[in-house]
């Protein structure tokens, strides 16, 4: 050093942001207020998870000799103190992202912080923490989805015999039951559960020890790190481990699919709750009053559920566009660190709301039967009876019933008389058909029609009971699997902290 080469002391901010080495000046105020502030806002919920990642990394590095034992113990002690999120730890954008904010707090207390990043990029820590947060949010999400699906199946069972018209194009179509209608939404949710379980298996692989792209000369212990954090294994390729994008597109896709499944049901129920349909009524605590129209009872809970689906479609676009970058681009995850877990929590809350709505809403059975009786919902059943009883092919039977419906607009099919049917057949076909009064009565009996649909998937009580039993069994299996994951991940989190405390000679038990 020459006499003119007097080096100024480096501030803590400059030290943690590597100022004075490759970079010669700290970030500008605009850089801090814009980029750093935005980045940090999306990382706040990673705090606990990144602490677990740092502790696991340090434990394994001590074991492998990558970090000297004495230095590692001092570092571990401060990491454990930081894990409690002490009042002295305040994240500020001028200190960069969550990683460098944590580093700053540690640097104020121990020089061993220099060992924290041995062979490891900051993105490895934040990526792993992000996966841990997603994993934890995901198992809670799965449990809530099991809950809303269970309620849906239960409600379907209660209404297996509650008659109503089914609707296509919002036109009365065929007779059904409210139970059969509701059960039609259980199966998409079961597929969502299958997708979520498969996704969890793909997500639960450790990216740790990848050294940013291709590993490190410093031993990292990829397999021990994975086991310590409760991963099922490691992401096989180190570069893929750091820069994978497809998993997060998949997560957004499942959230979108799930929210749309709920939205479709919500929109139907909103229609069915109108005066014109009058089939269902929401409980008052899921409604909102109008400030100008005193008679209104607006189904606001259903409107909210529909709106969440729109939000998830937007999230899907955000995540997809963020991921559509050249490999090795950090901006493919900066926004979704916060947005994806938040979105999962939003849909989770929406599912809980839908569970309440289903539990508390009422079905107007009298109105359902009245709607079936008021129009031509039994048309297909009459056409099929003409096939069975009169030997007509279905297309000719369809033509005859369509002719009858056109000729008797404004009247119910239940008002149809046998002589009118026979006369119309002569006009349409040029010859008579033979049908008895009892056969016509049976053809137009809605209860008979419902119970005649006996094949798998139909409305008959036997078919309904089989589907309900199947759904309940699948939900029970999903619940058992998910509970095992919840307990396993919680035990792993507790064991990391206990092992770290034992390593540094602390005997305080970790809370459950």
Q: Domain limits of the chain?
A: 139-169+178-370, 379-443
pLDDT value at residue 507? 61
The 3-state DSSP class for residue 18 equals coil
Find where tokens 């998910």 sit. 482
| Coarse DSSP helix, strand, coil percentages of the chain, rounded to the nearest 5 percent | 65, 5, 30
- Which residues, in sequence order, are bridge partners of residue 297? 289
Q: Mean pLDDT, 10 residues at a time, over the chain (512 residues)?
A: 47 79 88 91 94 97 95 96 96 92 94 91 92 96 98 98 96 96 98 97 94 86 96 94 91 96 97 96 93 91 96 93 79 82 96 97 97 94 95 94 91 93 93 93 96 96 98 98 97 95 76 46
Provide the 8-state DSSP code for 198.
H
Tell me which residue of 475, 477, 463 sits closest to 149, measured CA to CA: 475
* Contact (Cβ atoms closer than 8 angstroms) between residue 203 and residue 134: yes
* Contact (Cβ atoms closer than 8 angstroms) between residue 320 and residue 252: yes
Tell me which residue of 242, 234, 150, 254 sits closest to 194, measured CA to CA: 254
Taking each helix axis from N to C terminus, what angle separates 461-503 and 186-203, rounded to the nearest 10 degrees? 20
How far apart are the C-alpha atoms of 71 and 62, rounded to whole Å?
A: 9
Is the full-model pTM beyond 0.85? yes
pLDDT value at residue 22? 82
pLDDT value at residue 10? 60
What six digits make up the tokens of 334? 């900066």
Q: How many residues can be counted in the chain?
A: 512
pLDDT value at residue 5? 44
pLDDT value at residue 87? 96
pLDDT value at residue 406? 92
Q: Which residues contact 408 (CB under 8 A, 6 or more apart)?
A: 415, 416, 420
- Tell me the torsion sign for CA atoms 411, 416, 419, 420: positive
Backbone torsions φ then ψ of 166, nearest 5 degrees = -85, 155
Structural fold of domain 139-169+178-370: Fumarase C; Chain A, domain 2 (1.20.200)
């Amino acid at each position: 050093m020459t006499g003119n080469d007097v080096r100024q002391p480096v501030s803590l901010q400059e030290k943690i942001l590597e100022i004075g080495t490759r970079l010669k000046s700290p970030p500008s105020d605009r850089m801090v207020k814009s980029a750093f502030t935005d980045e940090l806002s999306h990382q706040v919920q990673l705090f606990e998870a990144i602490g677990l990642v740092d502790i696991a990394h340090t434990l394994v590095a001590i074991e492998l000799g990558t970090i000297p034992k004495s230095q590692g113990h001092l570092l571990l002690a401060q990491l454990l103190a930081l894990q409690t999120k002490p009042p002295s730890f305040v994240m500020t954008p001028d200190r960069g992202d969550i990683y460098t904010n944590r580093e700053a707090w540690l640097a104020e207390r121990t020089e061993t912080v220099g060992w924290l990043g041995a062979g490891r990029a900051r993105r490895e820590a934040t990526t792993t923490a992000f996966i841990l947060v997603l994993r934890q949010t995901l198992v809670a999400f799965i449990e809530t989805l099991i809950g809303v699906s269970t309620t849906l199946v239960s409600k379907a069972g209660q209404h297996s015999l509650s008659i109503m018209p089914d609707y296509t194009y919002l036109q009365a179509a065929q007779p059904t039951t409210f139970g059969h209608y509701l059960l039609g939404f259980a199966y998409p949710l079961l597929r969502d559960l299958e997708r979520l379980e498969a996704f969890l298996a793909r997500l639960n692989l450790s990216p740790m020890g990848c050294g940013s792209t291709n590993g490190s000369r410093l031993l990292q212990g990829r397999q021990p790190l994975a086991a310590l954090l409760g991963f099922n294994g490691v992401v096989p390729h180190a570069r893929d481990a750091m820069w994978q994008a497809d998993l997060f597109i998949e997560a957004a896709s499942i959230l979108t699919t799930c929210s749309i499944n709920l939205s479709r049901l919500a929109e139907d129920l909103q229609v069915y709750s109108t005066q014109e349909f009058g089939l269902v009524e929401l409980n008052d605590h899921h409604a909102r009053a109008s400030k100008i129209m005193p008679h209104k009872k607006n189904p606001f809970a259903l409107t909210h559920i529909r709106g969440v689906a729109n939000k998830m479609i937007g999230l899907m676009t955000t995540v997809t566009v963020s991921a559509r970058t050249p490999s090795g681009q950090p901006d493919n995850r900066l926004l979704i660190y916060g947005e994806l877990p938040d979105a999962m929590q939003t849909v989770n809350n929406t599912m809980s709301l839908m569970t309440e709505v289903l539990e508390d809403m009422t079905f107007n059975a009298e109105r359902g039967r009245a709607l079936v009786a008021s129009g031509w919902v039994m048309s297909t059943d009459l056409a099929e009876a003409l096939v069975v009883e009169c030997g007509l092919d279905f297309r000719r039977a369809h033509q005859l019933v369509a002719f009858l419906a056109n000729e008797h607009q404004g009247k119910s099919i239940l008002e149809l008389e046998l002589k009118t049917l026979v006369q119309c057949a002569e006009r349409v076909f040029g010859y008579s058909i033979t049908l008895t009064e009892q056969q016509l009565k049976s053809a137009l009996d809605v209860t008979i029609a419902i119970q005649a649909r006996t094949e798998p998937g139909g409305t008959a009580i036997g078919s309904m009971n089989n589907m309900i039993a199947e759904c309940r069994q699948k939900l029970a299996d999903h619940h058992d699997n998910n509970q095992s994951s919840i307990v396993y991940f919680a035990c792993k989190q507790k064991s990391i902290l206990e092992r770290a405390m034992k390593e540094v000679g602390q005997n305080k038990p970790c809370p459950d």
